[in-house]
Structure 1
Amino acid sequence: MLLRRATPAELGPAGDVTVAAYADFVLGPDDPYVERLRDAARRDREAELWVAVDKRVAGPATVLGTVTVCPPGSPWREVAHDGEGELRMLAVSPAAQGRGVGAALLDLVVERFRGEGAHAVVLSSLPQMAAAHRLYTRAGFIRMPERDHSPQPHVQLLAFRKDLP
């Protein structure tokens, strides 16, 4: 797989992958959050959208997964403090789950912020996302209950943090 900033042609497929990956965690196709998940172009304008693509496929790249990197100043940041990096909407295509795509994207974000001198990386996750929590724990993230938050009524998010040496 190849990890890179999303190209304009990959924004639509990246949005579709995000919607598919989050399908079990939204209230159905009419949930307003679905459009936010699908709008990869906005995330790329206001933050940075990165993708994992299958480099074995000829022609247009197949998007296997995606992550939104939220640098300082991005309106997509929710829980980061000064000196911390933040990621949002880590998503892996259901067909590519279990192949290390999520771990590779997570490593990319951690290394990116480490290279920029951040002292930690943070993220938020729904309580029901048990598979994601296992991935974060394996990558060295720990729970930070003091930063749990509720961005909308009836939505509770758990905060995680990885300190960077």
Structure 2
Amino acid sequence: MTIEVRDAHAGEYVAIGEIVTAAFAADGQLGTDGSTPYAAVLRDVAGRAAHAQIIAALDGGVVVGGVTFVPHGGPMADLAREGEAEIRMLGVAPDAQGRGAGTALVRECLARATVPRPVGAGAGTPPGERGTRRVVLSTNTIAHGSHRLYERLGFVREPARDWTPVPGVDLLCYVLEL
């Protein structure tokens, strides 16, 4: 089967939220029982859709993954600065991992980051010019599979931007220059 990526439909938001939560839990990022407050944030795909792009990965027509893409800052950006897009909350169903869905989702985000901004899309960038110079993301120190994926796609660590959103959760910053 071939992985398809596209904008998620609103009717898929619940499934994407559960998939992303399951992926984070399988990686050990949600504690031993998966009930950390961040699980509710991961499940709130509809809330993210108001401020970012939600992209779905499908295998044989079945949703197997999702990602939140923040093209030009805004309330969903944790790290993005002027000229940066951000990848957030990427997850692939544990039983679908290894089939290329994660890679396809990241590549779709990168493709979207290189699309010229439309008229009125951002101060300081003339319409039709690509205002995005790099893509940033943060990932948990324990998400070794994610580290390998991002590094394989050309992302490099930027330790000066590592951060700790809450005590006990240390996040690494990765950057890809476009």
- TM-score (normalizing by structure 1): 0.92
Q: CA–CA distance in 2 between the matches of 1:155 and 1:76?
A: 18
Pairwise CA distance, 1:44: 1.1
Q: Which runs of 4+ in 1 moved over 6 A?
A: none
Q: 1:128 is matched by which residue type in structure 2?
A: I
**Does residue 26 of the first structure (1) align with residue 26 of the second (2)?**
no
Q: 1:141 is matched by which residue type in structure 2?
A: F
Pairwise CA distance, 1:113: 0.4
Deviations 1:68-98 (A, max 9, x none): 0013242110111111110101101111100
Pairwise CA distance, 1:34: 0.7
The count of aligned residue pairs is 159
Is contact 2:54–2:66 with CA below 8 Å preserved after alignment? yes
1:80-91 matches, within 5 Å, as 80-91=80-91
Deviations 1:110-158 (A, max 9, x none): 1110123211100000000000000000000000001011111221110
2:174 alignment counterpart? 160
2:107 alignment counterpart? 107
- TM-score (normalizing by structure 2): 0.86
Q: CA–CA distance in 2 between the matches of 1:141 and 1:130?
A: 14
Pairwise CA distance, 1:30: 2.4
SS in structure 2 at match of 1:25:
coil
Q: CA–CA distance in 1 between the matches of 2:156 and 2:170?
A: 17
Q: CA–CA distance in 1 between the matches of 2:35 and 2:147?
A: 26
More helix by share: 1
Task: List alignment gaps of at least 5 residues for structure 1.
Answer: none
1:5 alignment counterpart? 7
SS in structure 2 at match of 1:76:
coil
Between the aligned residues of both structures, percent identity stands at: 40
Structure 1 range deviating more: 125-134 or 152-161: 152-161
1:57-76 matches, within 5 Å, as 57=61, 62-76=62-76
Q: CA–CA distance in 1 between the matches of 2:92 and 2:53?
A: 17
Structure 1 range deviating more: 66-75 or 132-141: 66-75
Q: CA–CA distance in 1 between the matches of 2:14 and 2:146?
A: 23
2:78 alignment counterpart? 78
Task: List alignment gaps of at least 5 residues for structure 2.
Answer: 117-129
SS in structure 2 at match of 1:106:
helix
Q: 2:176 is matched by which residue type in structure 1?
A: K
